[in-house]
Amino acid sequence: MAESVPEYSKVDKTIESYSCEKSALIAILHEIENSYGYLPAWALKHVSEKLNVPMIQVYGVASFYDAFHLTPRGKHLIRVCLGTACYLRGSARVLEALESELGIRDGETTPNLEFSLQSVRCLGACALAPVMVVGEHHFDKMTPTKVHSVLKRVHGKNE
């Protein structure tokens, strides 16, 4: 998976905007996550050095919160609901179809950084189960056979 090119001065600006305060660690990591879509290893090391916080502590915070990601993520995040209502209506087979179509497993990102796949528990639309969400777009009453056309539709919007 491609790692971003280190941009130390950009990260320095973020750290300095918080006056190099150790207590701002989470806020600083949020800004880095927003800039890169994940927390690059070089940035975590740099934050650790600049704030004088042990790397194990920085890594501990970065890996604890769901909002942080330690690997690059795809342009499109696909979330498939495996909550009870969706599961009972076949969402596991939708997930399998996505894994097969994209060549990745749940939690992974395609090598071209186009798609990330993530199973979730309840997207709040149980009456429309099985549900999947791609970016901002909801797809209701999903079936494995609809997967190909949904991916084509989402991908086509960016060409």
Residues that bind ligand FES (CB under 6 A): 81, 83-86, 122-126, 129, 131
Residue number of the CB closest to ligand FES reads 83
Closest distance between ligand FES and the C-beta of residue 142, in Å? 10
**Tokens at 157, concatenated:** 């919007």
In the complex with ligand FES, which residue's Cβ is closer, 124 or 156?
Answer: 124
In the complex with ligand FES, which residue's Cβ is closer, 61 or 85?
Answer: 85
Q: Is 139 in contact with 101 (CB distance < 8 Å)? A: no
Closest distance between ligand FES and the C-beta of residue 89, in Å? 9
Q: Is 11 in contact with 47 (CB distance < 8 Å)? A: yes
For residues 71 and 157, what is the distance between their CA atoms, to the nearest angstrom?
25
Nearest Cα residue to 154 out of 55, 83, 76, 37: 76
Q: Is 120 helix (H, G, I), strand (E, B) or coil?
A: strand
Phi first, then psi, for residue 56 (nearest 5°) are -65, -30
Report the run of H or E that residue 134 belongs to, with start and end. Answer: strand 132-134
In the complex with ligand FES, which residue's Cβ is closer, 47 or 131?
Answer: 131
Closest distance between ligand FES and the C-beta of residue 91, in Å? 7
In the complex with ligand FES, which residue's Cβ is closer, 47 or 95?
Answer: 95
In the complex with ligand FES, which residue's Cβ is closer, 53 or 85?
Answer: 85
Closest distance between ligand FES and the C-beta of residue 77, in Å? 16
Closest distance between ligand FES and the C-beta of residue 43, in Å? 34
Give the pairing of strands 115-120 and 132-134.
unpaired
